[in-house]
Amino acid sequence: MFIILYYDVNAKRCQKMLKRCRKYLQWVQNSVFEGEISEANYEKMIYELKTIIKKDSNDSIVVYKFRTTKYFIRKVYGSDKKDEIDFI
């Protein structure tokens, strides 16, 4: 499946979230990620991310799931961080 994920967490937890998300997905912009992921890896990633967020705070994770990229068009206007990472 293809997913788009973004999070909003306290600054103290941002680095942990970034590192964990980059393990599974492409970093697109600050707290935004996208990519193909298997159902098993998706479940594992969500489990790991849920251990970082604090339920009694305003932390959140939002995920958009797509079964296929067949009807998906991605347009970027301006600088695309995804392309910058590929060159490293």
Q: What are phi and psi of 58, to 5 degrees?
A: -95, 15
Mean pLDDT by 10 residues, the chain (88 residues): 94 95 94 95 97 90 87 75 51
Which range marks the domain in which residue 12 is found? 2-86
- pLDDT for the residue numbered 84: 53
As a whole number of Å, the end-to-end CA separation of the chain is 26
For residue 62, the model assigns a pLDDT of 95
Q: What is the pLDDT of residue 56?
A: 84
Backbone angles phi, psi at 72, to 5 degrees: -110, 125
In this structure, what CATH number is given to the domain that contains residue 41? 3.30.70.240
What is the number of domains present in the chain? 1
